[in-house]
Amino acid sequence: MAIGSGLDGGLRAVLREYVLTLADDELVLGHRDSEWCAFAPLIEEDVAFASIAQDEIAHAQMLYGLLPDPSGRGVDALAFGREPRAMRNAVLLERPNGDWAYSIVRHYVYDIADDLRTADLLRSGEPLLRTAAERMRREERYHLEHGATWLRALAGGGPDALRRLQAAVDAVARDSFDLFRPLAWEGALVQVGILPQAPSQHWESFAAAVQAAIAPLGLRFTPERPAPHGREGEHTADLAELLATMGEVRHSDPQANW
Amino acid sequence: MADLGIYEVFGQERSGAAFCHVGSLQAGDGDLALVLARELFCRRSEFVALWVVARPCIQVAPVAGEPLGPAEPRTYRLGVGYRDTVEKWQRFGGERGGDR
Amino acid sequence: MAGDAAAFEARIDRGELIEADDAMPEAYRHQCLRLIVTHANSELMGALPEREWIPRAPSIARKLAILSKVQDEIGHAQMIYRVAEDLGAPFGLTREAMLDDLIAGRAKFHNVFSYPAPTWADVGIIAWLVDGAALETQGALLRTSYAPYARILRRICAEEAVHLKHGEDIVLTLASGTSAQRAMLQEALTRWWRPLLHFFGPPGETLNSDAFRWRIRTATNEDLRQGFLRKYVPKIQRLGLVIPDPSLHLDGATGLWRYGDPDWDEFWRVVQGGGQRTAERLALRRLSRDEQGWVVAAMRAEAAA
């Protein structure tokens, strides 16, 4: 049973857009996280971060799987088969990994946003979304603990580390509004009870939550506008390259079984 | 500067079981050690609980090759030290060993 | 000292296992360390050809599986470096020093990880046959006399057994696929066959060497290679793949597989650091260490504060 089967065509399309924002965020971030594999700064952390990458990719797999699939081509068609303008992830997640400070800060800030989003999903009128949120919640809590622990460790690690962290926070701040930009179709999801509130309503509390988390470490979060429009399909060359890499083998023969 | 510490990891396989040593890892502090231990040793759900202990907190025996346990036999600490009771029950009739 | 050596050998002969803090001949410590450090380096270097394919895995399921496999290899490296550090504690051996030696080309790792992995089929061949070869070796090492190593090998072998299944799955999918997929698989097998034979090292070792007397190792190179051939040649042939050795055959009289000259000169050349991808992969490790060194420095500073 796919999501939104009781809804009319217009609402099903809106719900699809929304689920794609969730799933694409997770897929793109998971892919970026996986690029650290074998090169993380501590061998133990390499193992831990690879689990986090798998969590995100598996979440994407689960979320894509909620969508109706009339052609029967499965979740891989959604993950591998779209052009950048059809992707709905926030641009924050397609940025290259940069240094460890950027990757940790980017993931942590995203996790704070995701936590707010998941709280809404747990109250969704759509049971499949509630179940999805319940399944993701435990792993996302680990991600928050992991990120917070790393930030504390690095922030206490001397002026050079602190400088790198602040530079990372500034870069992430420039992209953050994309996570909660008001979108034309949000209201429709609230009206029909899929969401208890529009995602964009979280912007203020998100910014406050990030600031509260990092201020004790001597860091400042000053988000900027304008910010990118990833939710509306406006992406960077980085995403095009990411998707091309991801699809390299599969597209050598899309009909083949891999 | 201090080096990264070694933390010994203990895992409990199921509720009520003993915590057993499962390995060790390097980390800056105990918080990170716990975060790392979860994925190093429990990503296949091997345990329901974990301890991480900084290695300097652990004291080890035996020391200098001296074996553990008493130097002389202390059979009164073991059931086998009381085999005689089986025979002593015979004075009172019935089955050997006291059971009817 | 002679009495100590005799006492140690008596322990080995009784089947006792040796712990990190036990009295042991210096030669035992050094032999174990050489084996263990080479293994740790191999797990770390082995991750490099495979992790190149994580971003390009052709489905979400394959992406998760290969990410998990490489994660396991890094996890193995972590466990083995820890064992090495404890064994080398009397002369202050650290993970950092071992990694420096590796990057500088002073330390060894298995030849097999110096070869290119240019196609998706290589991912399947590596996970099935290279891990299969590793499992032969590591399975024999389960009976090693050095206890800390034996303990982690149990977990390592269990995880490698899963990797085999993953590799088998990829190979079976390609073998039952399009003609292009089958051709890619055959081409990968052709390239990997000789490195696989080399994996076990040259034949002709002396069984009364320290490594065998002290039960550090319990099977010869040729024993292990024969074990591998017995298990995998029939399966490879069953898939309709051609092994690039026309003289490969089972000798009915001895039950041993006979194979053509694997070119041991090439083996020794790669051991000396001349593998096709050796320099490039060591350079990647050097870059990673240099670029991310600030993180461990920060952690040390925070721990000291």
Name the fold adopted by C2-304. Answer: Ferritin (1.20.1260)
Residues of C in contact with A43 (CB under 8 A): 44, 74, 77-78, 81, 95
Q: Does B26 touch chain A (CB under 8 A)?
A: yes
Select the residue of B5, B24, B40 nearest C303 (Cβ to Cβ). B5
Listed in sequence order, the residues at least 6 apart from C132 whose beta carbon sits closer than 8 Å to its beta carbon are C164, C167, C228, C231, C232
**Calpha distance C283→C289 (Å, rounded):** 10
CB contact under 8 A, C63 and A245: no
CB contact under 8 A, A153 and B29: yes
Q: How many domains does chain A have?
A: 1
pTM above 0.90, yes or no: yes
Q: Which of C181, B59, C291, C146 is nearest to A41 (CA)?
A: C291
**Calpha distance C299→A188 (Å, rounded):** 48
Listed in sequence order, the residues at least 6 apart from A46 whose beta carbon sits closer than 8 Å to its beta carbon are A36, A37, A38, A39, A40, C71, C74, C78
Residue C266 exposed, middle or buried by CB count within 10 Å (0-12, 13-18, 19+): middle
Q: Which residues of chain A have pLDDT under 50?
A: none
Q: Does B98 touch chain A (CB under 8 A)?
A: no
Q: Residue A72's domain spans which residues?
A: 9-252
Q: Which residues of chain C have pLDDT under 50?
A: 1
Residues of A in contact with B36 (CB under 8 A): 44-45, 47-48
For residue B2, pLDDT beyond 60: no
Strand partners, C18: C146
**Chain B residue with minimal CA distance to C23?**
B65
Task: State which amino acid sits at residue C17.
Answer: L
CATH of residue A229? 1.20.1260.10
Q: Which of A136, A142, A140, A156 is nearest to A59 (CA)?
A: A136
Q: Burial code of A201-219, b = ≥16 C-beta within 10 A, e = fewer?
A: bbbeebbebbeebbeebeb
- Percentage, residues of chain C above pLDDT 90: 88
> Is A257 in contact with A206 (CB distance < 8 Å)?
no
Which pLDDT belongs to residue B1? 39
More confident residue, B24 or A70: B24
Which pLDDT belongs to residue C207? 85
Tally of CB atoms within 10 A around C171: 24
**Chain B residue with minimal CA distance to A154?**
B28
**Calpha distance A88→A101 (Å, rounded):** 25
> Is A47 in contact with C71 (CB distance < 8 Å)?
yes
* Mutation target vs B (from C8, C74, C78, C81; most B CBs, 10 A cutoff): C78
Q: Tokens 């988390």 appear where?
A: A213
Q: Does C172 touch chain A (CB under 8 A)?
A: no
Alpha-helix runs per DSSP H in chain C: 2-13, 26-51, 60-87, 95-103, 120-125, 131-141, 147-175, 179-199, 210-213, 221-238, 264-269, 278-304
| Cα separation values, C79 from A26, B13, C108, Å | 30, 20, 18
Which pLDDT belongs to residue B90? 85
Please report, for chain B, the start and end positions of each structural domain, with discontinuous segments joined by +: 5-57
CB contact under 8 A, A253 and C181: yes
**Calpha distance C85→C152 (Å, rounded):** 14
Select the residue of C78, C79, C302 nearest B28 (Cβ to Cβ). C302
**Calpha distance A202→A213 (Å, rounded):** 16
Q: Does B42 touch chain A (CB under 8 A)?
A: no
Task: State which amino acid sits at residue B61.
Answer: A
| Domain B5-57 part of CATH 3.40.50.2000 | no
CB contact under 8 A, B26 and C300: no
Q: For the segment B53-92, what is each residue's pLDDT rounded down to a tens digit?
A: 999 999 988 766 678 888 898 989 988 888 888 888 888 8
Tokens, residue C143:
């009976």
Please report, for chain C, the start and end positions of each structural domain, with discontinuous segments joined by +: 2-304
Which pLDDT belongs to residue B95? 63
Answer whether residue A81 is part of any domain: yes
Residues of C in contact with A153 (CB under 8 A): 298-299, 302
> Is C177 in contact with A256 (CB distance < 8 Å)?
yes
Select the residue of B1, B24, B26 nearest C304 (Cβ to Cβ). B1
CB contact under 8 A, B36 and A45: yes
CB contact under 8 A, B60 and C21: yes
CA-based nearest distance C167→chain A, Å: 12
